Amino acid sequence: MSKEIVLEVTNLDKRFGKVHALKNVSLKIPRGSVFGILGPNGSGKTTMLGIVTDMQKADKGSYSWFGQGNDYTLRKKVGSLIETPNFYSYLNGFDNLKITQLISGRGDNEEIKSVLKRLDLFDKSHIKFGNYSLGMKQRLAVAAAIMGNPDVLILDEPTNGLDPEGIAFMRRILMELAAEGKTIIIASHLLEEVQKICTHVSILQYGDLLSQGKVEDLLGASYTIVIEADNIAGLDQLLKNKFKSIQSIDVFKNRMVLSLEDKILPQDINAFCFENKIVLSRLELVGTKLEDKFLEITRKN
């Protein structure tokens, strides 16, 4: 395996009774990437991350870290936050990280102070974890994950339950870590946030891997035009007949969303509608959003 691949998953398969959580999933995560694993609850995201962090066992398949297999010693190069932050409610932030440090063998007291400062928790490190807000709990979990300066970070829904300010703070931290050369693997359902920071994505649905690759390749050079008018009845068929590069049209009351194979000039759309006595109140050309592409891929399956 290439040294540029930090994690390779090969035909991972996992069942929980009648639930087929992972169905022969294979993927490769490049070094230095911010890799988003996307999917709704029950798609298999957390199960896969649990397997590659030795929290669960696969029924079939294998995985390899850094091209060297899955030896436990390799896990010291990987920091992780899987599901809910797991700390002692009666201990303060510093002491919880001290326990994490003793278990993982990564970091020391000075580094604990450093990561607490980085996650804006140093002044609150004396407070019991049970009295932390949700945002503080998430930040402490990320602090635990980055102790020991691991090469790879695995974060399962790191912005789960955070307010917009908390999400923006977490995004800044992750972008800083990526700029330092770390490989970051994020499981998330917040597609807008993923699009802002991820270089690569994979899409899981009901245990099936539907797509994976660079974000720019997944989105492609496709475009979307949004139009609104008081009377758009029948306009969708007129537009399809006129402009052959229109792939699909979704109609929502007085709004239409046109998915295009090739770019169409908005003024051409506007002129055509005017010729057909339809005056548009809104006409906007936008690049494809990851959310739109996600829905397109999952609806096909």
Boundary-marking domain end, from 219, 242, 273: 219
Residues 164 and 29 placed together within one structural domain of the fold: yes
Range of the domain at 109: 5-219
Residues 177 and 255 placed together within one structural domain of the fold: no
pTM: 0.77
The pLDDT of residue 12 is 97
**% of the chain exceeding 70 in pLDDT:** 97
Residues 134 and 46 placed together within one structural domain of the fold: yes
Residues 283 and 181 placed together within one structural domain of the fold: no
Residues 230 and 174 placed together within one structural domain of the fold: no
Residues 162 and 14 placed together within one structural domain of the fold: yes
- List, for residues 188-246, the tens digit of each pLDDT value: 888 888 888 899 999 999 999 999 998 878 876 567 888 998 888 889 889 999 998 88
Residues 273 and 142 placed together within one structural domain of the fold: no
- As for how many domains the chain has, the answer is 2
Residues 209 and 252 placed together within one structural domain of the fold: no
Cβ within 8 Å of residue 295, ≥6 positions away: none
Boundary-marking domain end, from 163, 194, 219: 219
CATH number at residue 118: 3.40.50.300
